[in-house]
Structure 1
Amino acid sequence: MTDFSKLKRYPIIKNDPLKAWDASDELVGEYLKTPKYCECKKLLLINDSFGALCKASESREIYCYSDSYVSKMAIEQNMPSTPNLLNDLNDLKGDYDLVVIKLPKNLSFLEDILIQLTRFLPKSTPLIFSGMIKHMANGHFDLINKYIGETSTSLAKKKARLIFANLEKEEAQSIYPLSISIPQWDIDLQNESNLFSREKLDIGTRFFLENIPRGDFKNILDLGCANGLIGLKAKQLNPSATIHFVDESYMAIKSARANYQNSFDDCAIYNWTNCYEDEDFSEVDLVLCNPPFHQGNTIGDFIAWQMFKNSFQKLQRGGKLIVIGNSHLRYNLKLKKIFGNCKIINQNKKFHILESTR
């Protein structure tokens, strides 16, 4: 059995109770040692969270695709011999003996991945899809049947299951990125498949757009930018400012770049990274932030905490952090602990918009 015990999540948190693998990763490790798969030498791994799939595939030629910067850093951290890492779905190509996919929560993202696979994988290529049973939806099976072929499943073990299929279908045409029109922006927005609320404007962002300030700002950070709409609005209100787009999703940065270039003639700065953790990143005088409260299927406030701390570190004296969040998340308590101050600048029945000054 593969030993996952030394794997660590990224970023490393002291006394972190969360493991860097789950029972579905263990099940993949078991099946890769069976006669059917032990001779598969060249593997494509997709959505490996923290390097567990790579660990289970050690000693083979590994290509690993992830949209997540956190996953990329975890794999580099946990694997002595780093596999071939890919972060753009369009870079997936070539022949593989086996494809292993950890099922994403986002069905549009899975659809995009499967469509891309039909464009280059030879017919009959075997695929294994892994996941915890509670996270497997009918939609996962429907998409695999639609784009890959007939499915079968393993027996359940520790509440995990594998789905098996061989590529039987013809090449499919991608519908991504989506082009959406919203009344809050004159130009259609390009949304890649792994964005939150990729088909419409979510209510939190709609409220946030109404509360972006004008001012003498030189550098504005859209932290956790998604498609970049908050940064676009900030640029419209503050045309002399430089906008910095940051997200841990490569597809988010790709969308933000396309939308900014379609909207403005000057240049912005784009960083694919975790929160705003790099010491070399520029200082800013305004941070706009809508923190996610989950990482994959893991829910928690640890991402918000790091975003707030990184903002404090990189804001110039007198600079402001403006945050939107569900009122029950009580971000004001965290901000007061870090900044020493926090005020509500607007609210409705669901959201608070908070401001802290460095």
Structure 2
Amino acid sequence: MAGFSFGDLSRYPDVEAENLFAADAADRLILDEAAGELAGCGSNDVVIIGDRYGALTLGAADLLDDGGTVRVHQDSITGELALDHNASSLAPKARYAHHGLDRGLLAGARVVLLQLPRSLEALEQIADAVARWAADDVVLFAGGLTKHMTLAMNDVLRRYFGSVKAGLGRQKARVLTARDVRRPQSEPGIPMRQFHEDLGLWVCAAPGAFAGTKVDIGTRFLLEHLPELETSTGSAVDLGCGTGVIAARLATLLPGLEVAAVDQSAAAVESAAATAAANGLADRIRTIRDDAMASFPDASVDLMACNPPFHVGASVHAGAALKLFDAAARVLRPGGELLVVFNSHLRYRSRLNSIVGPTQQLGRNRKFTVTRSIRR
């Protein structure tokens, strides 16, 4: 990479810490394995999927002979923003374009670089899209850290490619190279869905959405406490909405609310929109892909509910939750309510007291705590 190293890359606006990095050994190995193919590529031949903070995109752009435009799909909007930030500061001449996971991303692509997702369902969706829309001679370089890779990933790729070969490992990373595309004969899949009798709700999930069509136990515990909310009219946000279960329950129980389901993940927002539609709530719930409500004005929302992540990527870290608490404090109106569920050992109540406002415990079981904070 000319002019900068991987160590120069920033995670901004995502959480930054000494033990969180913007690139890893898999990024380096993917680019090294693909270098020969990239050198022969021209404009619009190259697609990047799953780039976290720009390492693959900017590295690939640097290797192209004609400086062609790289097409990029990132599930996380913070990944998109980080790529833009890194490009502007480190590689202002790099040419790339953001896309959804669709024909526009992959049409005619000859080389695809992929940071392997953790979910086999998400990998299936990506492999299907590459096989469906890329060029006949497409080569897929799919890499990850070895500890997160499984043999089942090879099996998924073999359904869409005649040749799948694992390269030599390096610095605990490995790359699978897939060639000889097999075109899918059926239409693309649609979000899965499951009806939950106890909640009276359909839950829909696009590949890669957290918990899939299940309702995780933390969310279930939070839902038990929705009747204790004091706010019944005005605006509400399901912050970090995932599949939109909390948003759907709020809209069902409190018809006086205008509900928004907000998440940084494209898969989550797609899932939440499908959940709203499946339950006849599409006209009551807006779905918004956003980085911690960055597009929301200050003091503009009456009620929020949140089941925050306890990890950043594959690392256990409180930073993501604290970022959401800061966002809630900014966007809630004075006197507005924030309902949060969290693993009890994380002891977030004191943080919520200081960041948002007076916080009381509504419930606690062997694993989770639910609190209500009132914005100062």
Q: Output the TM-score relative to the length of structure 2.
A: 0.88
**Which stretch has the larger CA shift, 229-238 or 261-270?**
261-270
The amino acid that maps onto 1:176 is I
Distance 1:110 1:156 in 2: 20
- Cross-structure match for 2:77: 69
- Cross-structure match for 2:180: 167
Q: Tell whether 2:353 aligns with 1:336.
A: yes
- Cross-structure match for 1:84: 97
Deviations 1:291-310 (A, max 9, x none): 01223323211110010011
Q: Tell whether 2:59 aligns with 1:56.
A: yes
- Cross-structure match for 1:257: 273
Q: Tell whether 2:259 aligns with 1:243.
A: yes
102, 120, 144: which one pairs with 2:157? Answer: 144
Name the CA shift for 1:138/1:355 in 2 (closer, same or farther; >3 Å): same
Q: Tell whether 2:22 aligns with 1:20.
A: yes
Q: Give how far 1:341 is off.
A: 2.7
| Mapping for residues 273-284 of structure 1, pairs under 5 Å | 273-278=290-295, 280=297, 283-284=300-301
Name the CA shift for 1:191/1:13 in 2 (closer, same or farther; >3 Å): closer
For 2:133, what is the secondary structure of its paired residue?
coil
Q: Which runs of 5+ in 2 are unaligned?
A: 62-66
- Cross-structure match for 2:232: 216
Distance 2:25 2:6 in 1: 11
Name the CA shift for 1:256/1:311 in 2 (closer, same or farther; >3 Å): same
The amino acid that maps onto 1:23 is A
The amino acid that maps onto 1:130 is G
**Which stretch has the larger CA shift, 87-96 or 244-253?**
87-96
Q: Tell whether 2:61 aligns with 1:44.
A: no
For 2:6, what is the secondary structure of its paired residue?
coil
Distance 2:71 2:200 in 1: 40
**Which stretch has the larger CA shift, 187-196 or 313-322?**
187-196
Q: Give how far 1:175 is off.
A: 3.6
The amino acid that maps onto 2:177 is F
The amino acid that maps onto 1:102 is Q
Distance 2:243 2:285 in 1: 14
Distance 1:265 1:12 in 2: 30
Q: Give how far 1:138 is off.
A: 1.7
Deviations 1:39-86 (A, max 9, x none): 123201100000000111113331001111111111111122451111
Q: Is the 8 A contact 2:161 2:179 kept in 1?
A: yes
Q: Tell whether 2:318 aligns with 1:301.
A: yes
What do you get for the CA RMSD once the two structures are aligned?
A: 2.2
Q: Is the 8 A contact 1:181 1:188 kept in 2?
A: yes
Q: Is the 8 A contact 1:292 1:303 kept in 2?
A: yes
Distance 2:204 2:307 in 1: 19
Name the CA shift for 1:177/1:43 in 2 (closer, same or farther; >3 Å): same
Q: Give how far 1:208 is off.
A: 1.7
Q: Give how far 1:330 is off.
A: 1.5
The amino acid that maps onto 2:354 is K
327, 335, 344: which one pairs with 1:310? Answer: 327
Q: Give how far 1:261 is off.
A: 3.3
The amino acid that maps onto 2:287 is Y
Name the CA shift for 1:60/1:5 in 2 (closer, same or farther; >3 Å): farther
Q: Is the 8 A contact 1:127 1:167 kept in 2?
A: no
| Mapping for residues 94-133 of structure 1, pairs under 5 Å | 94-133=107-146
**Which stretch has the larger CA shift, 229-238 or 198-207?**
198-207
The amino acid that maps onto 2:361 is I
Q: Is the 8 A contact 1:115 1:172 kept in 2?
A: no
Name the CA shift for 1:172/1:306 in 2 (closer, same or farther; >3 Å): farther
Aligned length: 357
The amino acid that maps onto 2:143 is S
Distance 1:326 1:17 in 2: 22
Q: Tell whether 2:213 aligns with 1:199.
A: yes
Q: Tell whether 2:339 aligns with 1:322.
A: yes
Identity of aligned pairs, percent?
Answer: 29
Q: Is the 8 A contact 2:242 2:269 kept in 1?
A: yes
- Cross-structure match for 2:195: 181
Q: Give how far 1:161 is off.
A: 1.4
**Which stretch has the larger CA shift, 193-202 or 79-88?**
79-88
Name the CA shift for 1:222/1:118 in 2 (closer, same or farther; >3 Å): same
- Cross-structure match for 2:245: 229
Q: Output the TM-score relative to the length of structure 1.
A: 0.92
Q: Give how far 1:289 is off.
A: 0.1
Q: Give how far 1:12 is off.
A: 6.0
Distance 1:100 1:14 in 2: 25
Distance 1:228 1:202 in 2: 12
The amino acid that maps onto 2:29 is L
- Cross-structure match for 1:346: 363
Deviations 1:280-331 (A, max 9, x none): 3771111100001223323211110010011011111111111011111211
Distance 1:355 1:247 in 2: 21
Deviations 1:7-46 (A, max 9, x none): 1102166765422111111122323433x44212320110
